[in-house]
Amino acid sequence: MQQPSGFQHSDKSLVCKLHKAIYGLKQAPRQWFVKLKSTLLTLRFMVSKYDNSLFMHTSTSSQLFVLVYVDDIIVTDSSSQVHKVIQDLSSSFALKKLGKLDYFLGIKIKHLTDGSLLMSQSKYVRDILDRENVGIAKPVTAPMTSSCRLTKEGNDFYADPTFYRSIVGALQYATITRPDITYSINKVCQFLSQPLNSHWVAVKRILRYLQGTVSCGLFLQKVAVVAPLPITAFCDADWASDVDDRKSISGACIYLGPNLITWWSKKKNTIYRSSTEAEYRSLALAAQELMWVESLLQEIKFSYSTPTILCDNLSTVAMSYNLVLHNRTNHIELDLYFVRDKIQNKTLLIAHVPSDLQNADVLTKPLSTDKFTNFKAASS
């Protein structure tokens, strides 16, 4: 460690005492958040129990919400108290008021005339495309072909694995507003340690798909709340689909009313012995995520109806309501009790959905162009 310019001392045993955490130090973000949190608490805000970055202020006439990501802050309310909150914060911090929410963490928010929102990362995606220089490539209609089966076996290693990791790592952030590429990105991320040329071909196809859909994003429709909004989750699993280790891929997406609010695509850590087991594990994960969504909505006093999980596996649906346990279900007994307890308390409904209406399919496997287009329309 070098002594700061202008503060050199001949005694090398002395150390510098830090009075203020600054950018570049590991503790800087934490110290900043502690300071901001204490200031908001003095303004009578409360920290959310289910999201530590969300602060709430509730009164008889309005609700105020402050969402924090390091030093980027979103302030919104149900009345006209935003300006007062910003003014109060200005007395403690040097703020830059940017007006109506337009750009946040690389996400462009477009306000439509009917009050709906379109969230996109078009600039971020263009920057990735410029790095790879695919501007002259022909766009494709799907990020992955239905016949694509990637494997780690082979000796045609990609020449620049560091560049592969850089592009794939950057694409992960694009999934914040692009559920249509979530499965594809999840798949190519599984070969970061030793990518092959076939893996790079798959990445280039994703980039070509993004080139033709740069302006696409997540559409949030404005809904007139005249009744409790339904919460609907779709869950699915592609059993033993990995050709290397026969592990399953599970995926789920949750809608609040007509709007998609959360989704995921994950490769499981263990091998499941039946498709029913794989589907039920996915259902249990969806139920767990629904509990968090419910808790957050209850905390902000938002009205919603009983959540419903839609699954296209009839055995899984039947198992959810069947109170009899037998040897074939011993290994998933905890998940069974977890879901059945919610059903018996009437806080969760499980229903069957035909496979051609299963929106979570796009998160678990590569689809044909027609199927992918239909599911994409339902997910964005």
pLDDT for residue 207 is more than 90: yes
Confidence tier at 206 by pLDDT (50, 70, 90): very high
Identify the three-state secondary structure at position 329: helix
Identify the three-state secondary structure at position 315: helix
In Å, the largest CA–CA distance within the chain is 79
Angle, CA of 30, 35 and 36, to the nearest 5°? 95
pLDDT for residue 327 is more than 60: no
Question: For 139, which DSSP code?
Answer: P
Do 72 and 53 meet the contact criterion of CB atoms below 8 Å apart?
no
Do 208 and 139 meet the contact criterion of CB atoms below 8 Å apart?
yes
**Confidence (pLDDT) at 325:** 57
Show Cβ contacts of residue 371 under 8 Å, excluding neighbours closer than 6 positions: 356, 361
What is the rounded average pLDDT of the residues 120-148? Answer: 86
Q: What are the strands of the beta sheet with 63-69, ordered from one edge? A: 46-47, 54-58, 63-69, 72-77
pTM for this prediction:
0.85
**Confidence (pLDDT) at 202:** 94
Question: For residues 74 and 136, which has the higher predicted lDDT (pLDDT)?
Answer: 74
Query: What is the residue extent of each domain of the chain?
Result: 28-99, 120-212, 226-373
Q: Which residue is it, tokens 């696409």?
A: 216
Do 156 and 191 meet the contact criterion of CB atoms below 8 Å apart?
no
pLDDT tens digits, residue range 1-48? 677 777 778 887 777 777 766 677 777 888 888 889 999 999 899 999
**Confidence (pLDDT) at 1:** 63
Confidence tier at 293 by pLDDT (50, 70, 90): very high
**Confidence (pLDDT) at 14:** 79
Q: What are the strands of the beta sheet with 217-220, ordered from one edge? A: 103-104, 107-111, 117-120, 217-220
pLDDT for residue 326 is more than 60: no
Tokens of 303: 């009205």
Confidence tier at 323 by pLDDT (50, 70, 90): low
Do 370 and 149 meet the contact criterion of CB atoms below 8 Å apart?
no
**Confidence (pLDDT) at 335:** 78
pLDDT tens digits, residue range 331-352? 666 777 788 888 888 889 999 9
Question: For residues 56 and 27, which has the higher predicted lDDT (pLDDT)?
Answer: 56
**Confidence (pLDDT) at 182:** 94
d(C-alpha 175, C-alpha 120), whole Å: 10
* Ordered DSSP codes for 191-255: GSSS-BHHHHHHHHHHHHHHHHTTT-EEEE-----SSPBPEEEEEEEETT--TTT---EEEEEEE
Residues in the chain: 380
d(C-alpha 165, C-alpha 238), whole Å: 26
Return the half-sphere exposure (C-beta side, CA atoms, 13 A cut-off) of residue 290: 32
d(C-alpha 78, C-alpha 221), whole Å: 18
Give the Cβ contact number of residue 288 at 10 Å: 13
d(C-alpha 101, C-alpha 111), whole Å: 9
For domain 226-373, give the CATH number: 3.30.420.10
Q: Which residue is it, tokens 């499981």?
A: 268
CA-to-CA dists, residue 309 to 240, 279, 353, angstroms: 23, 12, 9
Do 325 and 145 meet the contact criterion of CB atoms below 8 Å apart?
no
Question: For 17, which DSSP code?
Answer: P
What is the rounded average pLDDT of the residues 223-240? Answer: 88
Question: For residues 118 and 331, which has the higher predicted lDDT (pLDDT)?
Answer: 118
d(C-alpha 287, C-alpha 231), whole Å: 11
CA-to-CA dists, residue 244 to 145, 175, 226, 247, angstroms: 19, 25, 51, 8
What is the rounded average pLDDT of the residues 73-77? Answer: 87
**Confidence (pLDDT) at 31:** 83
pLDDT for residue 322 is more than 80: no
pLDDT tens digits, residue range 175-204? 999 999 999 999 999 999 999 999 999 999
What is the rounded average pLDDT of the residues 59-66? Answer: 84
Tokens of 131: 């790095």
**Confidence (pLDDT) at 379:** 63
**Confidence (pLDDT) at 235:** 94
What is the rounded average pLDDT of the residues 149-159? Answer: 91
pLDDT for residue 50 is more than 60: yes
For residue 231, the cross-strand partners are 256
Do 204 and 237 meet the contact criterion of CB atoms below 8 Å apart?
no
**Confidence (pLDDT) at 166:** 93
- β-strands 231-238, 308-311: how paired? parallel
**Confidence (pLDDT) at 264:** 92
For residue 110, the cross-strand partners are 118
Q: What are the strands of the beta sheet with 259-267, ordered from one edge? A: 259-267, 249-256, 231-238, 308-311, 349-352
What is the rounded average pLDDT of the residues 279-294? Answer: 92
**Confidence (pLDDT) at 296:** 92
pLDDT for residue 104 is more than 60: yes
Confidence tier at 329 by pLDDT (50, 70, 90): low
